[in-house]
Amino acid sequence: MASLESRKIGILGGGQLGRMAQEAASRLNISLTILDQPVDAPAKQINAIQPHIQGAFTDADKIRELANSVDVITVEIEHVDTAVLFELEKQGKEIHPTPGTIHLIQDKYEQKVHLAKHGIPMADALDCPDDASIQDAGQRFGFPFMLKSKTGAYDGRGNYVVRSSKDVADARSHLAPGAPLYAEKWAKFDRELAVMVVRSVTGEVQSYPVVETVHKNSICHLVFAPAQVGRGLTGTKDATFAHSIAERARKVAEDAVASLAGAGVFGVEMFLMDNGEILLNEIAPRPHNSGHYTIEACHTSQYENHLRAILGLPLGSTAMKVPAAGMLNILGNGDRTYLACEMAYSIAGATTHLYGKKECKQGRKMGHITVVGDSMQQVHSRLLPMVCALDPADQ
């Protein structure tokens, strides 16, 4: 046996998710070939010896070239060319998750239509092909409501909060010109939750603990694992109630993923409403920002389990191996960008991950810090100075 695993994986996209998948692959001698435009894409930097492919993950010829050099194809981003993936699938290429799933998820509105058919609870949504239908959404949902780009969305860049009927023209010009849009009723949530679900090609399914995600300007800012649900919610601190919320969140996530074909890790974002109701927000068909913490805090990280899942290897335990963990995203912010990372050197339980991105644009995800602790209280106290260093207003 030349190696433990001889099958080669090709991945569309070489950003930070690909980089962390590469770290997991390296430990297992798994060969990962990356398709992305920059020669120094974050994932390529840490395995430069591999003959990676230079090209866009939307370039059909480059995707075919990748397919010719690997056994299994996967993605670290959903905004890829699916037409060629369908073609490769027909030719018998193994692609995870399936092109059908990636294609469905690319369109957030179609994703919702599909999930609604499967009985998954979500905020009401309305297709908005023209300005009249956007006004109609205001009538139906009241204000504010969220106007969303159906496609190409990430980090909240395809979202616009419509506060009154006067905002409609502004909303259109703010979102990409000509982008297909839909409206979503405002979810007055108590907090946001996420669950990573992993399904192997063998059909085995495992879920990671329910985590709490905190967004700032629609970008993931903090993650706490496990979610401290029930705390302060409609006045109850009842542990059974908290447990039932976590169980229901896990069930919604698992049911949603069960409605989608293909193997790998899926990130399921949810809203926990004031009344304890759980609504699904959206699904990512790949490892997810809310699962970065699994590297330090779980027996098997989401990245390693993604590789195991698409190769049909036994899944590793998704349980936490520490009582509590927190994650802070490091976003581009001029001179303040790396302040928290400097502090992390002297904070027990803190691990810094930087992604090797050369250009530090405002708001760009440059890295993250995971903090583990003996209790959530300890995690909070370890994280707080770093959170405040990034933005004193968060004190």
Binding of residue 269 to ligand ATP (CB under 6 A): yes
Binding of residue 228 to ligand ATP (CB under 6 A): no
Residue type, 373: G
Binding of residue 180 to ligand ATP (CB under 6 A): no
93-99: list long-range contacts, CB under 8 Å, 24+ apart.
Answer: 93/67, 94/310, 95/262, 96/72, 96/201, 96/262, 96/263, 96/264, 96/309, 96/310, 97/260, 97/261, 97/262, 97/263, 97/264, 97/266, 97/285, 98/261, 98/262
Query: 350 contacts which partner out of ligand ATP, Mg ion, none, CB within 5 to 8 A by kind?
Result: none
Using the contact rule CB under 5 A, the part of the chain among 78-86, 229-237, 261-269, 379-387 near Mg ion is 261-269
The residue among 269 and 304 lying less far from Mg ion, judged by its C-beta, is 269
By CB under 6 A, name the one of 154, 378, 380, 385 that touches ligand ATP. Answer: 154
Binding of residue 218 to ligand ATP (CB under 6 A): yes
Mark out the alpha helices in 95-198 (DSSP H runs). 99-106, 108-117, 131-141, 168-174
> What single-letter DSSP state applies at residue 357?
-
Count other Cβ atoms within 10 Å, centred on residue 193.
28
> What single-letter DSSP state applies at residue 320?
B
In the stretch 95-124, what mask flags binding to ligand ATP with x, by CB under 6 A? ----------------------------x-
Query: 55 contacts which partner out of Mg ion, ligand ATP, none, CB within 5 to 8 A by kind?
Result: none
- Name the strand (E) or helix (H) holding 179: none
Binding of residue 223 to ligand ATP (CB under 6 A): no
Check if the beta carbon of residue 257 is closer than 8 Å to that of residue 205: yes
Closest CB 216 distance from ligand ATP, rounded Å: 9
- Name the strand (E) or helix (H) holding 266: strand 264-273
By CB under 6 A, name the one of 24, 95, 128, 153 that touches ligand ATP. Answer: 153
Between helix 108-117 and helix 99-106 the angle, nearest 10°, is 110
- Within 281-310, which residues bind Mg ion (CB under 5 A)? 282
Using the contact rule CB under 6 A, the part of the chain among 9-17, 180-188, 233-241, 381-389 near ligand ATP is 180-188
Separation of alpha carbons 64 and 57, rounded Å: 10
Closest CB 270 distance from ligand ATP, rounded Å: 10
Binding of residue 158 to ligand ATP (CB under 6 A): yes
Site of interaction with ligand ATP (CB under 6 A): 123, 146, 148, 153-159, 184, 186-187, 192, 215, 218, 269, 281-282
